Structure 1
Amino acid sequence: MKKPDFKKIKGKSISLDDIDDRTLILNLYLTQMITLVIGVVILLFEQPNLSAMFSLHLGWEILWWGAGFAALVIVVDLIISRFVPEDFTDDGGMNNRLFKKRPLWHIIVICFIVSICEELLFRGAIGGLIGPYWTSILFALIHVRYLQHWLMTGLVFSISYGLGTIYEMTGTLWVPILAHFIIDLIMGCIIKFGKEDS
């Protein structure tokens, strides 16, 4: 029997331009579904107190914590985009493709789904196992499109660490979910309604 020659197998690099809009959106929803399933499976093994995790004991403070953290992140991001050259923050056009031509209702749906799925997995499930620091390293690593740029990788790590910290401080997952939602929604709207590329 002839052994396969693995050296002859070559991977094909796919550019974002090679992916049509429908495939991009399907890929987004598929990855979020996988994220949600992994988070639920981990939580089934951890068996945390779900009523405490999703507690509304803070009332309106949830809004203040979530919106306050989101506002801080947005201000920092706007300062970075004002003073740092674009090639330091380039994500290969992914965010532009996701948000620029999308209707506002769809941007809201995307941001809602992403914030629920990612926060359940990273802050709720993984964060409970390994803490906010290591969770944030993992969170930064899965945002592959930023890994070429140390500034964006550092920013994603810092945001993740902040989300983990406010979750630990408040004791409710609704705070990082709300913060994540607001951050993504405002960034998506800035891309959608911002000036056209020249």
Structure 2
Amino acid sequence: MVKLNQNEHLTGENLFKAVLLSQLLILIVAIALSFVLFDSANDFISIFNWEWTFIWIGLLSGVFVALLDIFFMRKLPPAMYDDGGINDLLFSSIPVWKIGVVAAGAAITEEFLFRGVIQTHFGIVFASLVFVLIHFRYLRKWYLLINMTALSFFIGGIYEYTESLWSVIFLHFIIDYILGIYIYITSKHKEGVHYETRSF
């Protein structure tokens, strides 16, 4: 995410704007690298292979990961998921439709860059490690770091299997949207508890 000016009052709306800005920057980087790394338009278009089987793989995988994460959120101490309450503040204070915007924007821009561009040209290991590093605020907590690393390789594996960017875009969207909605709902009942999602 883009770091907010320290003089600004930290609000959900400020975070929402910062997320949109960070997604725009990621999209610009992805487009620029595409022009450099892809040999032809056909090579670029091929990453957007659309097959309903692959879409369903992405959707079902996303539901599985989100439900697994919610299970651990409910079983583990809140401190294990606490990143200072950034995602809690974001998702608990914006409307549901904006949660969808955040989830869709992150899914499209990040998967385009990390899987579509970087993994296609440099492999799953490099793409996954860069993906983890760019989510730097998760590096401070060992559980979130392991969680994020495992998820990154899982998403990369789905992309390797389907060879379809759409599969991982849908996977990523479902995870962020379900967990965002979960935070939104639980925040209405649990004041002061900071749950963390992997907001990509």
Q: By the TM > 0.5 criterion, same fold?
A: yes
Shift in CA distance, 73/16, structure 1 to aligned 2, threshold 3 Å: farther
1:70 counterpart residue number:
62
Aligned counterpart, 1:105: 97
Alignment of 1:105-184 (within 5 A): 105-184=97-176
Q: What's the CA shift string for 1:107-155, capped at 9, x where partnerless?
A: 1111111100000011011112321122112111111221111111111
Q: Residue 52 of structure 1 aligns to which amino acid in structure 2?
A: S
Q: In the alignment, is the contact (CA less than 8 A) between 1:16 and 1:94 conserved in 2?
A: no
SS of residue in 2 equivalent to 1:129? helix
**Unaligned 5+ runs, structure 2:** 193-200
1:63 alignment partner AA:
I
Aligned residue for 1:55, secondary structure, equals: coil
Aligned length: 184
Structure exhibiting the larger radius of gyration computed from Cα positions: 1
Would the aligned equivalents of 1:132 and 1:161 in 2 still touch at CA under 8 Å?
A: yes
In the alignment, structure 1 segments of 5+ residues that lack a partner are 1-12
Please give the alpha-carbon distance, in whole angstroms, between the structure 1 residues aligned to 2:86 and 2:48: 31
Are residue 31 (structure 1) and residue 36 (structure 2) matched?
no
Instruction: Give the superposition deviation at 1:14.
Output: 7.0
CA distance in 2, matches of 1:155, 1:43: 29
Task: Give the TM-score taking structure 1 as reference length.
Answer: 0.85
Aligned residue for 1:100, secondary structure, equals helix
How much is the aligned-residue C-alpha RMSD, in angstroms?
A: 2.1
In the alignment, the residues of structure 1 paired with residue 161 and residue 7 of structure 2 have an alpha-carbon distance, to the nearest angstrom, of: 39
What is the TM-score normalised by the length of structure 2? Answer: 0.84
